[in-house]
Structure 1
Amino acid sequence: MLDIILDTLLDSVKLLPFLFITYLLMEELEHKTGGKAKNRIRSAGKSGPVWGALLGVIPQCGFSAAASSLYAGHVITVGTLLAIFLSTSDEMLPIMISEAVAPVVIVKILAAKVIIGMISGLVVEFLYVGVMKKHEKEMDIHVVCEEEHCSCEDGIFRSAFKHTLKIFAYILIISFLLNVVIGFIGEDTLAGFFTAMPLVGEAVAALVGLIPNCASSVVITELYLGGIIGAGAMMSGLLVNAGVGLLVLFRLNRDWKQNAGIVAALYGLGVFWGVIIRVCGIVF
């Protein structure tokens, strides 16, 4: 139990700088930028998925959580959010480095995640706006303020600090509960789901990858390196592994139907690309 508490605290504390910087940015945009600047940010949505996929693949703790906060404040689009979720790597990179995986293999996997994130984000953006005729709401940090039941009129630093503490406490509690559950069932049991249903490896891997905990990406990566699952299942699991980003999304975005749609799209895209990789016989 002590190890679970320490791991939860360590993982959660790593998020603090990113959350604080994100809320500072959102406060600054809301309080200081004019209408033209806001419109410029909104128009960047067309290329947002490209930048989101590129930035998401950089090994930085908390980027998916920051992206969810920006999405809840209508700063980035749904296509950009999904691009970030799909490209983020969580624990995969440090594990592969520690296992002395060939650098060219790591680069290929990261490049595949970036390309998949870009393509998927752009397609989602086109379908959402061009086909479904949906329109993103205007940027509004006060949406986050209302959800957190706090005042955004206390200055950008104080408001950002309040938001950071509230989200940190939420992540800390949920992460602790998840760590307890996973510690109880064991990672071996979690890994057994793959071997029990090998014909639907991509679907199972994506379900495991949706667990907002580092243990899921650890299990998927280790199983792939051990030759138990193939590249398709590995990619399905890692593509949907957005970490605490999903927790923050459900905490801040009040539209639960929209949240469910994002999770469904993330899962569907993860399974789809995993199957494509398996059918095409792609190896890394």
Structure 2
Amino acid sequence: MDVIIDIVLDAVIDSVKILPFLYLTYLAMEYLEHRTAEFTENVVQKTEHFGPLLGGVIGIFPQCGFSAAASNLYAGRVITLGTLIAIYLSTSDEMIPLLISEHFPVGTMVKILALKAVIGIIAGFIIDFAVHAYHKARGKRAEDPVRINELCEKEHCHCDDEEDATLKGMAKSAFVHTLHIFLFVLVLTLLLNIIITLIGEDHLSMLLKTNPVVSHILAGLIGLIPNCAPSVIITTLYLDQMITLGTMMSGLLVGAGIGLMVLFRVNSEKKVNFNVAILLFLIGTLSGLLIDVLGITL
């Protein structure tokens, strides 16, 4: 019974933590939809070139909520794919609190955050450049139009009605969006916590103690689990000197908290969602492997 209570409490706490981020994001998106649709289109086009830079910097803050917010913004095409990936790669979620609790040197912690941010920024710029070049070669526009209204249609919140264009209406619609995502995340987080408990964190830890290449792949796969728990496991193994810096980075770079979970919920293009997950995994694991090959230490 105690185990069941702990699983439920962890799921509730993990889900509740993202509520402020989700609500503020949806509220901002409602405002953009009703008040500044044309202006937003222009801003997206003008900020496309440095979006990954902002995303990489914002992502280092220790909260899963930023990756969830980024997923919603990308689904509405308010940010580019490169910016989304930059945020996913730099997201730190539970790593910072854990390092602080273990009295980890602040200087080294800052270097780890900076490394994650730099990798995210570089990858984001490369992705946006590649996407732009691809569309240009095919004679298509590089930017997808902002389509926040599609999220409203998907959630059936009727937030595009004229009577909901008031501040009260926008707040209500944002609440509906937030509630839907909260319940979705709560259920999946509960299931994931049950699975992790049944498998055991010790068994997950043992999977990372194989040969170097396999450990990077396994760290990346564990990082894909849409939960904050994987970052705790991977960071703990690094603190216990059981894995290398590169292996830890593979898992933490891929680990985007609940970002991918929310992306699959709010973005209707499932093929794009899978491509984002694959791209995130490849960039994260290859970057971690490169760190070890180059012998980079912090």
Using the TM superposition, name which of 242-251 and 129-138 deviates more.
129-138
Q: How does 1:70-109 map to 2 (within 5 A)?
A: 70-109=73-112
CA RMSD of aligned residues (A): 1.2
Q: How does 1:150-229 map to 2 (within 5 A)?
A: 150-152=157-159, 153=161, 154=164, 155-229=169-243
**CA separation in 2, counterparts of 1:198 and 1:51?**
33
Equivalent in 49, 56, 64 of residue 67 of structure 2 = 64
* Aligned-partner residue type, residue 207 of structure 1: L
Is contact 2:64–2:256 with CA below 8 Å preserved after alignment?
A: no
**CA separation in 2, counterparts of 1:199 and 1:273?**
12
Measured after TM superposition, the shift of residue 200 of structure 1 is: 2.0
Equivalent in 19, 23, 34 of residue 26 of structure 2 = 23
**CA separation in 2, counterparts of 1:253 and 1:181?**
25
- Structure 1 pair 211/37, CA: closer, same or farther in 2 (3 Å)? closer
Gaps of 5+ in 2: none
Is contact 2:18–2:64 with CA below 8 Å preserved after alignment?
A: yes
Residue in 1 aligned with 2:44? Answer: 41
Measured after TM superposition, the shift of residue 37 of structure 1 is: 4.1
Equivalent in 277, 280, 286 of residue 263 of structure 1 = 277
Residue in 1 aligned with 2:267? Answer: 253
Residue in 1 aligned with 2:9? Answer: 6
Q: TM-score, normalised by structure 1?
A: 0.97
**CA separation in 2, counterparts of 1:52 and 1:201?**
28
* Aligned-partner residue type, residue 231 of structure 2: S
Using the TM superposition, name which of 131-140 and 163-172 deviates more.
131-140
**CA separation in 2, counterparts of 1:158 and 1:34?**
19
Is contact 1:167–1:248 with CA below 8 Å preserved after alignment?
A: yes
Is contact 2:55–2:84 with CA below 8 Å preserved after alignment?
A: yes
Equivalent in 147, 151, 155 of residue 154 of structure 2 = 147
1:258 counterpart SS class: helix
* Aligned-partner residue type, residue 179 of structure 2: L
Measured after TM superposition, the shift of residue 141 of structure 1 is: 1.3
* Aligned-partner residue type, residue 68 of structure 1: S
Equivalent in 94, 117, 121 of residue 118 of structure 1 = 121
Deviations 1:148-196 (A, max 9, x none): 2321123211110100000000000000000000011110011111113
Measured after TM superposition, the shift of residue 117 of structure 1 is: 0.7
* Aligned-partner residue type, residue 31 of structure 1: H
Q: TM-score, normalised by structure 2?
A: 0.92
Is contact 1:42–1:76 with CA below 8 Å preserved after alignment?
A: no
Is contact 2:228–2:258 with CA below 8 Å preserved after alignment?
A: no
* Aligned-partner residue type, residue 137 of structure 1: D
1:211 counterpart SS class: coil
1:139 counterpart SS class: coil
Deviations 1:83-121 (A, max 9, x none): 000000011111110011111110110000110111000
Measured after TM superposition, the shift of residue 197 of structure 1 is: 4.1
1:75 counterpart SS class: coil
